[in-house]
Amino acid sequence: MFLGLDSSTQSLSALVIDPASGRIVHEESVNFGTDLPQYRSPSGFIPGGPDGEVHADPRMWIEAIDLLFSRLAERTDLGTIDAVACSGQQHGSVYLDDSFAGRLAGLDSGSSLVEQLSPALSRATSPIWMDTATGAECREIADAVGGDDEVCRRSGSVAIERFTGPQIRRFFKQDPEAYSKTAVIHLVSSFVGSILAGKNIAIDHGDGAGMNLLNLRSLEWDSDLLDATAPGLGDKLPATAPSATAAGEISGYFASKYGLSSSCKVILSTGDNPSSLVGMGATSPGTFVISLGTSDTFFAAMSEPVTDPAGFGHVFGNPAGGFMSLICFRNGSLAREQLRDDLGLGWDDFDVAGLGKTPAGNEGRIMLPFFGPEITPRHDFTGPVRNFSDDAPPEVQVRALLEGQFLNMRLHSQWLGEKPTLIRLTGGASGNDGIAGLIADIFQAPVERFAVANGAALGAAIRAAHACGNDLAQLTAAFCQPAADSRIDPDPDLAAVYEAELARYQALLGEAMERRL
Ligand code: ADP
Ligand code: XUL
């Protein structure tokens, strides 16, 4: 049996697979907002941060690990797990002092993880991927290495606000003393993996590429980017290594407290998007994945690393080898939730029933779907922009939001130069047939869904099994199959409708960006 964990924005989930029977034998989840309300983070982060700051409390992530394992241990025999791997929300970073390694090595199962590890935090809160506060640091890093093109050439992305390097630089500038006391900086994924392994583990090439620090040619930390980011940074980062590397055995803490076998291996962690690439059976080019989690992301394996001239797209390591593209949209599920709550609606209104009340193309009524700052395109939007009255009926608003989100996705993925021939959906909203149908029509490509909505946790479990000698093609064949009747084909008659809508959307976006810049 193999265990996959996913520490995402809103929850920590677990999934257990049995390659011999080809079955997912167990799923479990801890929701940060509802299960750990004491951290006052209903959507997994601390609300109301100033100047675009979005941080989370890393003690919440630590406490969730004990809670998840205690639930798992109640319902399943964890002694049968051969290996575990983690996936994590990308870019978020955790800062630890020089007591961390000793604390990990000496974990006592008589006490909790949060009690034993919290004193090692050298920064009380962790910036996460939603943070847009590092515009100045991005410019400083780009200037120091010769411009954004150079940062992109080396790291696969221009210097981007949410990426870990600019976030580290901001911490160094704001609190140089705490920065100098920091002995190790982890990503969310490698932090959780380190706790499992009872020692600091390496950062893999999938998640490491989301830092503006990894050189994609050498697959090592880039010394010029390190120097441009913060002094002495090279000494504070774990090593980098391929995703399939075994980091060691599970910490004795988990063996004695939750009954895991002391020979259970810990495989390096990766980011949630690279992990979903594996979980969605998309590690070879051709199949595109859209993840509808807190963020909406659009990604695929790449035959050749191509970078986005406009700077919105990224190149990350593909956990199965080679590279993957990724485009991230900040106004994903939380924007859909906001409109739903503002109008007093339910998810049915965003599904087939609700969408059936309006025609495709919404009779030309278009919304720029940005309820807050956006990453793609990068802008400090403070609310959606409509080319129609904002007291239009709810069904018009819902269609306008959803069409706006996926027209924006289609527009900003054109740099890949490849039209998707198949799209697989994952994430919390992927079970919504209305949204799935709309995506099929806007991209004019068939859409498939899996029975498991958490492609990232499934990807982690598959990676654990693969790293222990199971064949990836066989694992993919066994676990990455679309659910019966989950496929939705596009309506070819709507190709022209959405072609015209795309042009309208682009014009409205162009005008809005010009007005606001
Ligand atoms: P993350 O991995 O980023 O924590 P998930 O992939 O678990 O997020 O997705 C959670 C989101 O899924 C919630 O914010 C919720 O808005 C959305 N969601 C759940 N069910 C539906 C639905 N039927 N239609 C649309 N969105 C949904
Ligand atoms: C990707 C990104 C988000 C996070 C959270 O670049 O910022 O998708 O990984 O899921």
pLDDT, tens digit (0-9, with 9 covering 90-100), for 218-231: 999 999 999 999 99
Residue 144: per-residue pLDDT: 98
DSSP states along 217-252: TTTEE-HHHHHHH-TTHHHHSPPEE-TT-EEEEPPH
pLDDT digits (tens, 9 = 90+) for 80-124: 999 999 999 999 999 999 999 999 999 999 999 999 999 999 999
Atom 11 of ligand 1: nearest residue by CA position: 428
Question: Could you tell me which residues are beta bridge partners of residue 325?
Answer: 300, 315
In the CATH scheme, what is the code of domain 2-274? 3.30.420.40
What's the sign of the alpha-carbon dihedral 337, 340, 343, 344? negative
Tell me the best of 86, 294, 328 to mutate to test the pocket of ligand 2, counting ligand atoms within 8 Å of each CB and taking the most: 328
Mean pLDDT of 149-162: 96
DSSP assignment letter at 263 = T
pLDDT digits (tens, 9 = 90+) for 33-42: 999 999 999 9
Residue 178 burial by Cβ neighbours in a 10 Å radius (0-12, 13-18, 19+)? middle
Distance CA 467, CA 26 (A): 20
Q: Is the CB of 149 under 6 A from ligand 1?
A: no
Sorting pLDDT into bands at 50, 70 and 90, what band is 306? confident
Please state, for a pLDDT cut of 90, what percent of the chain lies above it: 94
Q: 281-449+487-517: CATH homologous superfamily?
A: ATPase, nucleotide binding domain (3.30.420.40)
Q: Is the pLDDT of residue 517 over 60?
A: no
pLDDT digits (tens, 9 = 90+) for 364-397: 999 999 999 999 999 889 899 999 999 999 999 9
pLDDT digits (tens, 9 = 90+) for 56-65: 999 999 999 9
Sorting pLDDT into bands at 50, 70 and 90, what band is 516? low
Q: Is the CB of 330 under 6 A from ligand 2?
A: no
Q: Is the CB of 337 under 6 A from ligand 1?
A: yes
Q: Is the CB of 167 under 6 A from ligand 1?
A: no
Structure tokens at 238: 């774990």
Atom 10 of ligand 2: nearest residue by CA position: 89
pLDDT digits (tens, 9 = 90+) for 435-489: 999 999 999 999 999 988 899 999 999 999 999 999 999 999 999 999 988 999 9
pLDDT digits (tens, 9 = 90+) for 120-132: 999 999 999 999 9
Neighbour count for residue 47 (Cβ, 10 Å): 9
Please state, for a pLDDT cut of 70, what percent of the chain lies above it: 100
Ligand 2 center from residue 321 Cα (angstroms)? 20
Tell me the best of 32, 291, 333 to mutate to test the pocket of ligand 1, counting ligand atoms within 8 Å of each CB and taking the most: 333
Cα 441–chain centre separation: 25
Mean pLDDT of 275-297: 95
According to CATH, where is 3.30.420.40 located in the chain?
2-274, 281-449+487-517
List the beta strands (DSSP E) in 47-118.
55-56, 83-88, 93-96
Q: Which ligand has an atom closest to residue 434 CA?
A: 1
Q: Is the CB of 293 under 6 A from ligand 2?
A: yes
